[in-house]
Structure 1
């Protein structure tokens, strides 16, 4: 498999390390169209990893050691702000348009099986093939006519399990890569 970060760069050139949400089809190929690229760094980014254990218990006996079943798909939450007030940048794309693009890519069913699109989420060195599982949009600043100028978004995602992209991205955090070894010259 090619370097997953090259894939992102080819779809969103010159976007640096900003958060990117890119729709992909069931085969993992990028769908043509505009990806969602965040204007600023997120306020928070959290990753939840959960192991799955089974608790076998016979009636009338104390609990047994839990039996390991596997690893559940990772879940992660990103909180970010969309701003069109002009305070931080001269680029003033309306908040409503940003939200419309976000929803179009993440929540509106478009595939033949009537489900929202699968996604690639990339922020810095974090890269994941996933699905959106929840989003909450809070409008926090308005102009005189009541048009939103700023919105806070809290989006929850769940990784798709055993995907080639996720396997390739995890190689960057492999214990083989992160171990440090000290080699000392032997005294003779």
Structure 2
């Protein structure tokens, strides 16, 4: 449906090669996060010779990326279904029957989340690997840490609202890592779908690491007006040796 808000989803897998799917939508957020933090880190050896005042940092490795997300778990019954990333602060009675509300206890929501991401599974002797998808963003990894801040309670002490702070670490098998590295190589032919806001120089920069090949790519694809790319169009990016 055009204009439909896409919810962040978490799929579960038994292995770090992501071939043995358990459930493609093991968890779907009722309310989308307002944002996320994605971190990549390069590790360098910073040891210096004795008595020196400066030294060269030598690259050692690129660490696995990390993803930090904050989820709002609401069980008050005032959270409108499909409300996107905002808590709708309206009174249920004033909206009528055509504006349904989702009401599920915070405890049940937290259980569903942790069952999908961090709960130890005896059959595979570890928690599941997960694929987190939100629109065009995709992250493969495992849950490293999950902190719950309870914010609102019923008279009997039952939690009505909580914020879950989750940190995921990237985790893929060596075989999958090698496959990803190969498919991103500029020496292979790539097919890409134009997204809103894409330009040919920008797409060429992503594939080859240099935008200077965009005129050659335009020729290969028979583009007359390459300055106005239509979203949804499929373009081919041949190996560098064929266009250099």
In the superposition, the TM-score normalised over structure 2's length comes to 0.59
2:141 matched to which residue of 1? 130
* Structure 1 residues not aligned, in runs of 5+: 1-14, 184-188
2:155 to 144, 151, 160: 144
Paired residues, number:
169
Equivalent runs, 1:1-188 vs 2, <5 Å = 17-26=6-15, 27-28=17-18, 29-32=20-23, 35-89=26-80, 90-112=101-123, 114-161=125-172, 164=176, 167=180, 175-176=206-207
TM-score for both structures, normalised by structure 1:
0.75
Is contact 2:145-2:166 (8 Å) kept? yes
Where in structure 1 do 4 or more consecutive aligned residues deviate above 6 Å? none
Where structure 2 has 5 or more consecutive residues not aligned to the other structure, the ranges are: 81-100, 185-191, 193-202, 216-244
Greater length-normalized contact order (CA 8 Å, ≥ 6 residues apart):
1
- Which protein shows a greater Rg? 2
- Say which is worse superposed, 36-45 or 109-118, in terms of deviation: 109-118
Please tell me whether the aligned partners of residues 43 and 81 of structure 1 are also in contact (alpha carbons under 8 angstroms): no
